[in-house]
Amino acid sequence: MDSETRKWERLHRLLAQDDWDQTVYVYAVDASGKMTKPCIAKWGMHAGLLDSIRDDFGSGEYHLMIRRGKTMLFTGTIGVQRPLRR
């Protein structure tokens, strides 16, 4: 299993934990793929995180940093898509 696969599995596990003691920092990503500062949102971790990002900021790329206290649990850039029409 490669490191990218492990990274995304770690994110899915964190989302499933629904642990509000974990802090999620959400950063916009510009057209060149760089994270912009300051963060656009700071939330407690919750299972509906990706929906919250999409609902508040729209589809696009975002950089997430997830921490518990001073411990970094996850950092990575994700793509959020609009919901599929049925």
Instruction: Write down the pLDDT at residue 62.
Output: 97
Tell me the pLDDT tens digit for each residue of 38-57: 999 999 999 899 999 999 99
Instruction: Calculate mean pLDDT across residues 21-37.
Output: 96
**Which residues lie closer than 8 Å to 76 by C-beta, 6 or more apart?**
7, 8, 11, 63, 64
Angle, alpha carbons 5-9-13 (nearest 5°) = 170
Report how far residue 26's alpha carbon sits from residue 45's, in angstroms, rounded to the nearest whole number.
11
The whole-number average pLDDT for the span 5-25 is 90
pLDDT at 85 over 80: no
Rounded to two decimals, the pTM is: 0.87
